[in-house]
A and B are shown apart, each in its own frame.
Chain A
Amino acid sequence: GNSVTQMEGPVTLSEEAFLTINCTYTATGYPSLFWYVQYPGEGLQLLLKATKADDKGSNKGFEATYRKETTSFHLEKGSVQVSDSAVYFCALRDSNSGYALNFGKGTSLLVTP
């Protein structure tokens, strides 16, 4: 079946540091890949997406590239801010699972001034 594996957190970075959150997946079909972000006490916000191999999703300085050969979708940002502190979830969906989103366990990010 489908599955998503994310790096364990928490990740603590200083402001303006480079961020990478690793995400790898297992899927039997051709999934679309997503990153969602959850701020304390809130629901999930769609951060970026990619629907096919080699697509690069980007938003608010965050980027992730769909790598089929390594089954990965790592999230990166060149310079993090305190306001980026949140929990980040990698997710996939495909027709084999009826398009239900399959989430990783989430990576907590804390950015300190």
Chain B
Amino acid sequence: KAGVTQTPRYLIKTRGQQVTLSCSPISGHRSVSWYQQTPGQGLQFLFEYFSETQRNKGNFPGRFSGRQFSNSRSEMNVSTLELGDSALYLCASSFDSWTPAFFGQGTRLTVV
């Protein structure tokens, strides 16, 4: 069974630009969550999507948004990038919110 796939693995963007990250969950998993990992703040929850609906949201500004498609694939978008958005963005999929979450390898975003 294929794992969680995140693309791209690495990105370099300039301040003020926007970026879109993609996540393909494990087949059959309907819940997709996104997390930001930084050395200073650790792992922080961004949002969760289930059956194309956002079910939960962390404490991040509105520049961070996401969506989920009918095939459960998810994208997250960050607009007006800031230097502080440089991080490893991790996607996790699970069958439902309370079942174990499995993570992808992440997308390393560097904002210059």
Give complex CA distance A99, B56 in Å.
8
A32 and B98 in contact, given A98-B55, A100-B48 (Cβ under 8 angstroms): yes
A105 and B55 in contact, given A32-B98, A100-B48 (Cβ under 8 angstroms): no
Size category of the binding interface on chain B: 20 to 34
A101 touching B92 by the CB < 8 A rule? yes
A42 touching B98 by the CB < 8 A rule? no
Give complex CA distance A95, B48 in Å.
13
Residues of B within 8 A of A45 (CB): 103
User: A103: CB under 8 A from chain B?
Assistant: yes
A43 and B97 in contact, given A98-B48, A100-B58, A105-B42 (Cβ under 8 angstroms): no
B103 touching A43 by the CB < 8 A rule? yes
Give complex CA distance A105, B106 in Å.
18
Size category of the binding interface on chain A: 20 to 34
Can you offer 26 A-B residue contacts whose CB atoms are under 8 A? A34-B100, A36-B103, A42-B105, A43-B4, A43-B90, A43-B104, A43-B105, A43-B106, A44-B92, A44-B103, A46-B101, A46-B102, A49-B100, A89-B43, A95-B98, A97-B56, A99-B56, A99-B97, A100-B33, A100-B45, A100-B48, A101-B43, A101-B45, A101-B92, A103-B43, A104-B42
Q: Residues on B close to A: CB < 8 A?
A: 4, 6, 33, 35, 42-43, 45, 48, 55-56, 58, 90, 92, 97-98, 100-106
Q: Residues on A close to B: CB < 8 A?
A: 32, 34, 36, 42-46, 49, 89, 93, 95, 97-106
